[in-house]
Structure 1
Amino acid sequence: MASHRPRPAVRQEQMGEDPSSATLTGLLSERARRSPDREFLRFGDRSWTFAEIDAWTSRLAHRLIAVDGIQTGDRVAIMLPNVVHWPVVWLSALKAGAVAVPVNSSYKRADLTFLLRDSGARVVFTDHERAGLLKEVASAEADLTDLRIVDVAADGSAGFPATAPPVPAGAETLANLQYTSGTTGFPKACMLTHDYWVRLGWTCAAVTGLGPEDVLLTAQPFSYMDPQWNTVLALTVGAPLVVLPRFSASGFFADVRRHRATFFYVLGSMPTLLFKQPPSPDDLDNQVRLVLCSGVPVKIHAELERRWGAPWREIYGMTESGVDLSSPVDDASVVGSGSLGLPVPTKRVRVVDPQGADVADGETGELIVSGKPMMLGYWNRPEDTARVLRDGWLHTGDVVVRRPDGGVRLVGRIKDMVRRGGENIASAEVEAVLERDDAVVASAVVAEPDETFGEEVKAFVQLAAGVPADRTTAGRIIDRAGRQLARFKVPRYIEFVADFPRTPSERVSKPALKERAAAEPGVTYDLGPRRSTADTAAAPPTDFLDVRIVREVAVLTLRRPEKLNALDVPTRLRLASVVREYGTGDHVRGIVLTGEGRAFSSGEDLRSVPASYDEVRAAFESFHDITRAVVGTRVPVIAAVNGLAVGGASEITLCCDARIGTPATEFYQPENGRGITISNASSLLLTRLVRNHAMRMVLGSPRIGAEEALRIGLLDEIVPPDELVRRAVDLIVEWTPESITTALHLALLRPRPDEIEQAFAQEDIAARTAWESGVFSAGINGFWASKGSGAQPPVGTDPAPHDTNDTGDLT
């Protein structure tokens, strides 16, 4: 842990002054003259001095002019990973009077084509790995055929003069077209001048108090802002910059120790990812004396400082504006406060309402800033520039609250809000709560369309190692969040993910996340479907129904495997309610019903055996309700029959549009043998499916295995157990292509509602007759006697799979 504080290159009271050099190229020349032999850039085990980089960039600038014909204002693109050639090409382009265009090195064809066209780049520097893609793009696009592609492995600079070419440049000369991460639509290029860069480096030098004895370190991609302003900061203070190939949470601090870094900058989820790493005895063995961060997690701020023994301070800015706010390094009161800091001397900030009027302290509003540094505007986007830069004020799109001390606390992004009913919910607030959970590594909260509330809260969650990605975990996470958030802010949906797509700045790319979820949906748990008051009142204390969304299909799973997924009236009503909710087709394209464990369901729960005809009627009605719900949907419903389906549960599968089974699938309807009549419109549905086999199934009560069920038409398909739900989902997707009238065909092919109701009426009469004759009660008593007791058997007794007296079904 560092104890010595070196002399700062720029004192804090100098922050508001003009930088010592007006241009970035002038700053490099000045540093090379004053500290020629001092280390400037370190990549891996190699390093270069200020003088070496100054000479190399001068030679390459001459080559750009002489060989590539670069003239003042031409654009030079850089598509490279984190290698030394990146900053060398950047600074060389500026010395040649060109404008640098950083390109994300992971871009594919569409993004790359857009950026090259939009920028009008004449030359692009790249490596062998990416040269082929660039050649494909250039040859395929008529307006890019003249693009020159230079492989940095042989940049052709040898032999040119080591002094800079005489190209005039001033503070307002354009230096970069810096493309934003493109969170909405295509990226926009911020026009950044030489003054922007040198002033940003000057301000950050004063904020940090860094000097020549420090060692700076960065791990973000060089195409993004951070390594670039870190480079300018290193030039300003005369200290070396260590550039890692990429950010790795597990190896980051080992690199910090190895390079004896005293300063680094992190943002987005990087602090949380670092904190989630297992503590090490080496944590305090480092030379770090300051960390700057954009978005220090409030709840772990103090722990970050304690664990690594250095202050972590907030700094706020945007690509458009450089740096706007900073927290004093010596002010420990900001730790855990959530403050973004105070305005730097060259900036003014306001917090305004949608009409542009200032809001009172403590009220939320949009942060707007003015001053220097500031972009000139967006390249080729005058309308976007006019929308964001108004009367000299940059509208950041960030929702903040001004604190009594003048500091600013971030609430969220205007466009990163969930509008649920009449409430606005900041995604950042919900994410912060979720990430306090030890089970959660990182999260991203987005809006999910909802018919009732307009939008619902959905959380994508990356779990810590060893934490199961199941519904129980989802419920626990939401329960914990619910203790810290207002009820309307608690996520309804959770989708577990292995990782997140990220912008070059290591922020989660929510547009990319949504696109990935749409193209390759993961398992989504619905922690609270909308239910009517009656359904809510009837819901059982433990919800045995799991609801998840897979590829736009609602998968409903009975989750009581230890009791063979036995059903009671509340669970059946809940199932019917959820089928109705998703059956509208507004949010899903189909429904799959299945069970957990070795049984689809063993039918009626013995705990709720009817003791009167009214209870018999209620039990039948709850099964009727499922049938009505299924046949009334506008989407296909498929039964994925994973195992034993007994009695009423077997009957539930009959009203589905298809039944897919596994080799373990078995249908069993023991009603007749117990003096109970069939229900759930089976008198209609069973004969439609299996015709003359229906009589044998009901009167003989045989167990029908998968192969026989397939032969007689009770099953449509048999698949391996691990493919069951996937196959059912595939079938629904196959049946529901866009613009096809699936709902109309379902209505034509299913039994008519009046046929269903007529079957219900006949079955109810038969049930009453059975009850009044005493056959029903005799059947129950006979079943109990077969268990060796005249009393009701224990709830959920696990039946032997081939003992007809040992099922849990009584319907």
Structure 2
Amino acid sequence: MNEWGERAGVASLSGEQPVVPVERMGEDPSTPTLNALLSECATRFPDREFLRFGDTSWTFAEIDRWTSKLAHRLIEVDGVRVGDRVAIMLPNIVHWPVAWLAVLKAGAVAVPINSSYKSADLAFVLEDSGARIVVTDRERAPLVDDAATERGLGEVRIVDLAEDGTGPFPATAPEVVVDADTLANLQYTSGTTGFPKACVLTHDYWVRLGWVCAAITELGPEDVLLTAQPFSYMDPQWNTALALTVGAPLVVLPRFSASGFIADVRRHRATFCYVLGSMPTLLFKQEPHPDDLDNDLRLVLCSGIPAGLHAQLEQRWGAPWREVFGMTESGVDLFSPVDDTSAVGSGSLGTPVPSKTIRVVDRDGNDARDGEPGEMVISGKPMMNGYWNRPEATAEVLRDGWLRTGDVVVRRPEGGVQLVGRVKDMVRRGGENVASAEVEAALERDDAVVDSAVVAEPDEVLGEEVKAFVQLAEGIEPERATAERITERVRHQLAHFKVPRYVEFVPGFPRTPSERINKPALKGRAAEEPGITHDLRPHRESASATATSNVVDVEVVREVAVVTLRRPEKLNALDVEARVRLAEVIREHGTGDTARGIVLTGEGRAFSAGEDLSATPTSYDELRTALETFHDITRAILQTNVPVIAAVNGLAVGGASEITLCCDARIASPAAEYYQPENRRGLTISNASSVLLPRLVGNHAMRMILGSPRIGADEALRIGLVDEIAPQDELLDHAIDTVHAWTPENSTTVPHLVLLRPQLEEVEKAFAREDVAGQQAWDSGMVSAGVAGFWTAKAGRP
């Protein structure tokens, strides 16, 4: 294990010869297995960097030795035999690729499992795959035990990689025969319809995928690859195969953060990355930065990029963005060459890679005429062997060597193809595939649901959202509370991204002659005559805002009071009236009589900009009143009988960031940013930061207050300013879940809050010190100058 910064330097690539020239793309790979690729890299360049997680990296030789030791342990301790299935359920840590490569060295078959899966998802995969060994961590081990018990799977052995016990085992690979046709993965995907199906993937599939992508990208050993998707998905795995093919390092981020992604690209000097789903749109929505062009990127591969943004993305970050098309079933099928500038903004998926042939067929399987839409079917390599335990599904999708993609395309005049729709009954939410049938089955386990149909609802950011049409049992009212209760049950069975955001209650369903629900007719009817529909996103408009201040909106969601600042056009800046109302709302729901906890958040791209500069105090008395209203919010939070969670969704400036310090936890989205600029503007800190901030961040408090830096979510997590980072679309749900976790039945939450929070007497002393500091600032003339400076800095901004 090495500190990557000591030897990372990326050389100029001008004149570098790619490892796999484009003209060799269609050839068979020179090395047949992933095991052999790793061994070859470890022999040829043992000290070259291979994997980088955070600021730590491992060489090819180190990973080769570690995976060999772990493979021996799996065989000799855990009883793994050739062909056994071994599940991997881990977040993005180095142990994930180590476990994968070790399983393959043992001759076994890896079963990647999404680390966010709940019990129902996990139990299904374990039962379907037959995996009886799960490589996981202590956090998820109890969930694995529960899932195995729930399905009656017998003993499932857990391998905790934090204590993998590999020390005494040999650092040379076990003597296990593995060739190109040896199974490597059961890679679960939503496929075309129905419950998740496992694609049977061989070593040849992965090696060939790495070979083809090396030719597409023209990468060499001096490149630096970067990925941010969960390792249980395809993309980091093929990125690993690509890194092994070209002998280059792979940087793995813990998660995708739109606000921090380009900074990570710059910090790691990445030359290549792959983005898909909503990632390009979310990246482009970030505020432009003077350093946008200051990066080493020379190619970005993408899938489903918005055609209208294509040229702007290239201009903003100064590198070609090129489409690739593929599926878990088939790896990579189409690509746009790096030198094909005509592809920019065209919407084309590209042309077939040399090892693939495509056809566009009508419903009868005949070739569609140019310009007419039809389903794209594909043959060639790489290709899955079929679906595990699904002979009928395999026969339906793989016909005479042709894979039916379920994607409707038209041929373009220049020879490429353009996607126009899908015949799949699934929802593509961001980068996630959600099978409608799986969600419908979860909904229909509820006695209140007679029947259901799940469809895709267009969404500006995620592409599609999950919508459920629900027919209720007799006597059940189609109220919002009913929709929340039904989806709450789904939430405990399926991953968060599968839970419907929209629920439309209907009296019945239009049906086909075979009595299946006619979803096109259903969607058409909903457009003309919608039923009672509820948008269950917690972050939404509410009628509960009072006449006192419509800026402060409170709604009880799942027994938790979600308090939202709703003034996005002003970055949720607060005036005195809104502060008073906020303190009232906290006291009202802080008794524990109406809610089991409180979540504070903001609408739009800011938690709050703090002081409303359009109502800047014009006298010391007004300034004191403004500061004391922040004091009152502090008192209100510290005196509640329930947990108070700050869901920091964006920018938190000045007093607003200080409000979050009073909360019992701060859960941030990747876009969160803290900024306390008071010292630079001649103001004094408010809200008892002199007590609360050092409790959280220690000696970082001086830098934060006196230096006034802008602190992004990742740094805030590192120094302890925030407790967790959650994706933007999960932020409120995660905060609400935290409240539930902290307030179990028969709990002693109230006395623990008294013990764990700062004492109010200590905070009141800080208030008095602030008054003295404020008086000194006023006497020096800095206060008036500071207010004026704030006004100038914000002039013209919303």
TM-score range, shorter chain: 0.5 to 0.7
2:26 alignment partner, one of 16, 22, 29: 16
Equivalent position of 2:534 in the other structure: 550
Whichever residue aligns with residue 158 of structure 1, its letter is G
Q: Shift of the alpha carbon at 1:296?
A: 1.5
The residue matched to 1:315 in structure 2 has which SS?
strand
Out of 307, 323, 326, which is 1:314 matched to?
A: 323
| Counterparts of 2:527 and 2:88, CA distance in 1 | 49
Uncovered stretches (5+) of structure 2, i.e. residues with no partner: 1-9, 438-452, 464-483, 489-493, 506-523, 537-541, 548-798
Which of these residues, 95, 107, 127, is aligned with residue 117 of structure 2?
107
Greater radius of gyration (CA)? 1
Match of 1:98 among 108, 126, 129: 108
Instruction: Write the distance in 1 (CA, Å) between the matches of 2:456 and 2:173.
Output: 56
Is 2:374 the counterpart of 1:358? no
> Using the alignment, how far apart are the partners of 1:264 and 1:212 within structure 2?
15
| Cα distance in structure 2, aligned partners of 1:514 and 1:405 | 40
* Residues in 2 aligned to 1:177 and 1:305: alpha-carbon distance in whole angstroms: 36
Q: Does 1:34 align with 2:18?
A: no
Provide, for residues 565-602 of structure 1, a one-character-per-residue CA deviation record: whole Å limited to 9, x for no partner: xxxxxxxxxxxxxxxxxxxxxxxxxxxxxxxxxxxxxx
| Matched position secondary structure for 1:514 | coil
Name the structure 2 match of 1:195: 204
Aligned residue among 239, 261, 275 for 1:252: 261
Residues 360-379 of structure 1 aligned to structure 2 (within 5 Å): 360-379=369-388
Task: State yes or no: 1:274 paired with 2:258.
Answer: no
Residue 116 of structure 2: SS of its match in structure 1? coil
Alignment of 1:323-722 (within 5 A): 323-415=332-424, 458-461=457-460, 512-514=498-500, 517=503, 530=528, 549-550=533-534
Measured in 1, the distance between the counterparts of 2:129 and 2:286 equals 41
- Alpha-carbon deviation of 1:463? 11
Q: Structure 1 residue 325: deviation in Å?
A: 0.6
Give the match for residue 745 of structure 1.
Answer: none
Please give the secondary structure, in 2, of the residue aligned with 1:398. Answer: strand
Q: Find the aligned partners of 2:385 and 2:103 in 1 and give their Cα distance.
A: 19
1:124 is aligned to 2:134 = yes
- Distance in 2 separating the partners of 1:100 and 1:278: 41
Match in the other structure for 1:157? 166
Distance 1:235 1:348 in 2: 26
Counterpart residue type for residue 238 of structure 2: W
Structure 2 Cα separation of the partners of residues 370 and 509 of structure 1: 33
Deviations 1:270-317 (A, max 9, x none): 111111111111110100000000112100100000000000000011
Instruction: State the alpha-carbon separation in 1 of the partners of residues 54 and 201 from structure 2.
Output: 29
Q: Deviations over 1:119-154 (max 9, x none)?
A: 111211001110111122234443232x11011100
Q: Is the 8 Å Cα contact of residues 32 and 179 (structure 2) preserved in structure 1?
A: yes
- Looking at structure 2, the residues matched to 32 and 192 of structure 1 have their Cα atoms a distance apart, in angstroms, of 24
In structure 2, the partner of 1:72 is 82
Identity %: 68
Determine the C-alpha separation between the residues in 2 that align with 1:82 and 1:518.
Answer: 36
The amino acid that maps onto 1:115 is: V
Q: After TM superposition, give the deviation of residue 512 of structure 1 in Å.
A: 2.2
Of 135, 140, 143, the residue aligned with 1:133 is 143
Q: Judging changes above 3 Å, is the alpha-carbon distance between structure 1 residues 188 and 198 closer, same or farther for their aligned structure 2 residues?
A: same
In 1, the alpha carbon distance for the partners of 2:222 and 2:81 equals: 39
- Residue type of the partner of 1:362? G
Residues 706-755 of structure 1, C-alpha deviation per residue, up to 9 Å, x if partnerless? xxxxxxxxxxxxxxxxxxxxxxxxxxxxxxxxxxxxxxxxxxxxxxxxxx
2:17 maps to 7
Letter in 1 for 2:116: S
SS at match of 1:142: coil
Q: Residue 529 and residue 307 in structure 1: after superposition, are their counterparts in 2 closer, same or farther (change >3 A)?
A: closer
The code of the aligned residue for 2:498 comes to A
Task: Show the counterpart of 2:243.
Answer: 234
Q: How does 1:276-291 map to 2 (within 5 A)?
A: 276-291=285-300
Question: 1:214·1:262 contact (CA, 8 Å) conserved in 2?
Answer: yes
* Counterpart residue identity of residue 500, structure 2: K
Mapped to 1, the partners of 2:139 and 2:44 lie a distance apart of 38
1:426-485 C-alpha deviation (Å, 9 max, x unpaired): x99xx9xxx9xxxxx99x9x99xxxxxx99995445699xxxxxxxxxxxxxxxxxxxxx
1:296 to 292, 298, 305: 305
For 1:272, give the aligned amino acid. T
Please give the alpha-carbon distance, in whole angstroms, between the structure 2 residues aligned to 1:257 and 1:191: 37
Question: Does the CA contact (< 8 Å) of 2:86 and 2:110 recur in 1?
Answer: yes
Does structure 2 conserve the Cα–Cα contact (< 8 Å) formed by 1:388 and 1:394?
A: yes
The code of the aligned residue for 1:7 comes to Q
Match of 2:27, SS state, is coil
- 1:530 & 1:547 partners in 2: Cα distance? 10
Distance (whole Å) between structure 2 residues aligned to residue 132 and residue 547 of structure 1? 41
Q: How far apart in 2 are the matches of 1:39 and 1:324?
A: 30
Superposition misfits of 4+ residues, deviation over 6 angstroms: 454-457, 508-511, 526-529
Kept in 2: contact 1:317–1:323 (CA 8 A): yes
Q: Aligned in 2, Cα 1:175/1:237: closer, same or farther, shift over 3 Å? A: same
2:192–2:425 Cα contact (<8 Å) kept: no
- Other-structure match for 2:481: none
Tell me the amino acid that sits aligned with residue 227 of structure 2.
T
Q: Does 1:87 align with 2:97?
A: yes
Letter in 2 for 1:514: P
1:412 to partner: Cα distance: 1.5
Assess, with a 3 A threshold, how the Cα gap between structure 1 residues 456 and 173 changes in structure 2: closer, same or farther: closer
The AA in structure 2 aligned to 1:34 is R
* Separation (CA, whole Å) in 2 of partners of 1:120 and 1:303: 47
Paired residue total:
471
SS for the counterpart of 2:290 is: coil
Computed over aligned residues only, the root mean square deviation of the Cα atoms, in angstroms, reads 3.8
Structure 1 CA distance for aligned equivalents of residues 308 and 196 of structure 2 = 33
Are residues 463 and 8 of structure 1, via their aligned partners in 2, closer, same or farther at CA, if it must alter by over 3 Å?
Answer: closer
- Tell me how far apart the structure 2 counterparts of residues 456 and 25 of structure 1 sit (CA, whole Å): 42
Counterpart amino acid of 2:202? T
Task: Kindly provide the amino acid, as one letter, of the partner of residue 13 in structure 1.
Answer: E
Q: Which amino acid aligns with 2:61?
A: A
Cα distance change, pair 93–282 in 1 and its aligned pair in 2 (3 A)? same
* Residues 390 and 4 of structure 1, relative CA distance in 2, 3 Å threshold: same
Letter paired with 1:101: V
How far apart are the structure 2 equivalents of 1:189 and 1:206? 28
* TM-score normalised according to structure 1 size: 0.54
Structure 1 spans left out of the alignment, 5+ residues: 418-426, 436-440, 448-453, 465-496, 502-507, 520-525, 532-545, 563-811
Q: Conserved in 2, the CA contact under 8 Å of 1:2 and 1:262?
A: no
